[in-house]
Structure 1
Amino acid sequence: MFINSKPILFSAVQPSGELTIGNYIGTMRHWSNMQNTYECLYCIADLHALTAINKKKKIKNVILDTLALYLACGVDPNKSTIFVQSHVCQHSQLNWILSCCSRFGELSRMTQFKLKKVQNCIENSNIGLFNYPVLMASDILLYQTNFVPVGKDQKQHLELTCKIANRFNFLHGNVFTIPKPIISENGSKIMSLLDPTKKMSKSDVNQNNVIFLLENISSVVFKIKNCITDSEHPPKIYHNTNKKLGISNLLEILSAITNKEINFLEQELHGILYSEFKSIVAEALSKFLLKLQKSYIHYRNNEFFLQEIIEIGAVRARLKSQETLNKVFSAIGMV
């Protein structure tokens, strides 16, 4: 049972394919410890994944893959609520109501929408992609969330969530809790391996830019040893996201998977060659991923256990979300 005095934390990941080391470092590595401080709700956001309509892989299988990764990352279903977004219809119900409190202009200015619109061409962009931030706001506000762990690139979405919540509260009374972001000082935005000016993305055309959590270890080693560093001579290993993007990115990855502070790593790695540094990162990352993958396989092979988790999680999430939805219906005068 949850302790009611704990602040509520909500986080979600799309089951739209394999997750990356960026997903893990930016968000998922913190989930295990957060369970001890917060009442945690961890959502598998399958409705959000539908915006990528060209995906052919069966979404049921991908949902179970994602759940197994949640467990491998230390999420405990006895401490946290783990559920599938589409199993809780209240998300879609609140989404429509909040859409009526959102502005076309503010949605069209969302950075990620503008980026995807350019990538996909406006004629191929679906309405779900445009409305994505409102559904995200519904996900968060539905549970009276106090805190949301986000990467720096997602901060704009949470700011919009707060704006929508404040607008609704102003019009209809104090219904929604205004959530606050939790942003990690380091690792909140892991960058591409060959172009460290852009974020690592699983949809990158060049897959050598990306490390996947379930990737073959020999492939991981190859990618790390061939990633971009810099041409400074003599080579120096220190964290500076203005001057040394590639080195800083590798330091953030190494820090996250070894639980060593970056300033400690800078001292430990002082004077070594870039090739040696890459080998150290590759070895540490390989060791980490092998352990994670072993745990993932253990959970993924027990589908009955996985189904039981999401069924129990759906019941918990429905009960909690309906409390908020009842407040919303009452506030706007619906029977």
Structure 2
Amino acid sequence: MTRIFSGVKPTGHLTLGNYLGAVRRWVAVDQHAAEALFCVVDLHALTVDHDPARVRRLSRQAASLLLAAGLDPDVCTVFVQSQVDEHARLAYVLECVATDGEMRRMIQYKEKSARERARGGSVRLSLLTYPVLMAADILAYGADEVPVGDDQAQHVELTRDLAVRFNQRYGHTFVVPKAVHPQVGARVMSLQDPGSKMGKSDGDAAAGIVYLLDEPEVVRKKVMRAVTDSGHEVEYDRDAKPGVANLLDILAACTGREPAALAEDYHSYGVLKKDTAEAVVEELRPLRVRHAELCADPGYVDGVLRAGAERARGLARPRVDAAYRAIGLLPAG
């Protein structure tokens, strides 16, 4: 069976964009169609200034939300990255294969380091090298496929390059994975800036972001205040009417209809916003209920993560041990 690896970074609260764009597909398709590993990649959250308590809290919340969304630990493996030492073990070995030039060409490094410097902060070395850790996340498990969006495609190409280079220099050790670009469940943009993806940002940008744990009234308020476009016609045109198109995309994802067909049912922005808000509230209701149940039983979540880490460790350790031997390190014991 094909093996896939996907991760979510606990740098902010999970959003409607995360859910409709990826998590819902993980639940409905990926966990059943492949040997699937889903990881809260908490080590990646340390590459920028952070509050340790918040990282721990968001890591647990992310894991709980993945389970609440419907990932079944009897079907797939759900775990936290830092609880499996093989990620960090393999990352250093791969750093000995990667080059400084490769790291500095990473688009996300250029963008994030520029933002850090603009704030007057220093850039952590881990921000430069975290694509190698991401490669280790994938290669440790012999993943055949990595479902990614366009913003992560460069990192998967690096992973492929490192796997091929290691195999050529030290003997065949790693599966060379391929990036797959599954049909996005929904292209969800910020409600206040429909030209930008609905990310996990806080502060001023939060007004345009629907978080999975937002109360229903908060969801309704955010959707009703969504930026629309000039004119009054409800048309599905991402270029000419990005605000309206974003609402139609969200409504379509929640109802199973096509956005262009939905546009024909509406003659005012207000009614479209109201129906979209109610559709989002209903889409998230079962997830919120299940999440509350999981929060009331933290021992269950801890047990799932312990079992997931043990299973992941069993899959990763033989390959990482083989990489250590191949590159010239003495075996332990």
Same topology, TM > 0.5? yes
1:309 is aligned, of 304, 311, 317, to: 304
TM superposition shift of 1:204: 4.5
What residue number does 2:235 align with?
A: 237
Question: Which moves more between the two structures, 83-92 or 26-35?
Answer: 26-35
Deviations 1:101-129 (A, max 9, x none): 11222222222222212221175221111
What residue number does 1:174 align with?
A: 172
Contact 1:169–1:176 (Cα < 8 Å) also in 2: yes
What residue number does 2:112 align with?
A: 116
2:280 matched to 1:255? no
Contact 2:43–2:81 (Cα < 8 Å) also in 1: yes
Deviations 1:157-186 (A, max 9, x none): 212212222222222233211222232434
Structure 1 residues 14-25: aligned runs within 5 Å: 14-25=9-20
Deviations 1:230-265 (A, max 9, x none): 11x451321x43333222222222222223333443
2:75 is aligned, of 55, 58, 79, to: 79
Task: Read off the aligned partner of 2:304 and give its amino acid letter.
Answer: I
Task: Read off the aligned partner of 1:311 and give its amino acid letter.
Answer: R
2:251 matched to 1:222? no
Question: Which moves more between the two structures, 112-121 or 255-264?
Answer: 255-264
* DSSP-derived class of the 2:174 partner: coil
Distance 1:220 1:141, change over 3 A: same
Contact 2:210–2:219 (Cα < 8 Å) also in 1: yes
Task: Read off the aligned partner of 1:64 and give its amino acid letter.
Answer: R
Contact 1:14–1:44 (Cα < 8 Å) also in 2: yes
Quote the Cα distance in structure 1 between the aligned partners of 2:86 and 2:7.
16
Contact 1:165–1:176 (Cα < 8 Å) also in 2: yes
Contact 1:26–1:150 (Cα < 8 Å) also in 2: no
Task: Read off the aligned partner of 1:106 and give its amino acid letter.
Answer: E
Q: % of aligned pairs identical?
A: 37
2:181 matched to 1:161? no
Distance 1:249 1:315, change over 3 A: same
Structure 1 residues 70-149: aligned runs within 5 Å: 70-121=66-117, 123-149=121-147
Task: Read off the aligned partner of 2:91 and give its amino acid letter.
Answer: N
Contact 1:27–1:150 (Cα < 8 Å) also in 2: no
Distance 1:55 1:189, change over 3 A: farther
Contact 1:186–1:252 (Cα < 8 Å) also in 2: no
TM superposition shift of 1:330: 2.8
TM superposition shift of 1:266: 4.0
What residue number does 1:51 align with?
A: 47
Task: Read off the aligned partner of 1:205 and give its amino acid letter.
Answer: G
Task: Read off the aligned partner of 1:144 and give its amino acid letter.
Answer: G
What residue number does 2:324 align with?
A: 329
Distance 1:156 1:190, change over 3 A: farther
Quote the Cα distance in structure 1 between the aligned partners of 2:43 and 2:87.
9
Task: Read off the aligned partner of 1:262 and give its amino acid letter.
Answer: P
Distance 1:93 1:44, change over 3 A: same
What residue number does 1:68 align with?
A: 64
TM superposition shift of 1:95: 0.4
Contact 2:232–2:269 (Cα < 8 Å) also in 1: no
Contact 2:24–2:185 (Cα < 8 Å) also in 1: no
Question: Which moves more between the two structures, 240-249 or 23-32?
Answer: 240-249
Deviations 1:302-331 (A, max 9, x none): 111111111111111111101211221232
Contact 1:213–1:289 (Cα < 8 Å) also in 2: yes
* DSSP-derived class of the 1:57 partner: helix
Quote the Cα distance in structure 1 between the aligned partners of 2:192 and 2:56.
33
Contact 2:234–2:263 (Cα < 8 Å) also in 1: no
Distance 1:181 1:250, change over 3 A: farther
Contact 2:141–2:316 (Cα < 8 Å) also in 1: yes
Contact 1:18–1:202 (Cα < 8 Å) also in 2: yes
In the alignment, structure 1 segments of 5+ residues that lack a partner are: 1-5
Contact 1:64–1:300 (Cα < 8 Å) also in 2: no
1:246 is aligned, of 225, 231, 243, to: 243
In the alignment, structure 2 segments of 5+ residues that lack a partner are: none
Quote the Cα distance in structure 2 between the aligned partners of 1:305 and 1:295.
13
Runs of 4+ in 1 over 6 A off after TM superposition: none
What residue number does 1:3 align with?
A: none
Contact 2:11–2:200 (Cα < 8 Å) also in 1: no
Q: CA RMSD in A?
A: 1.9
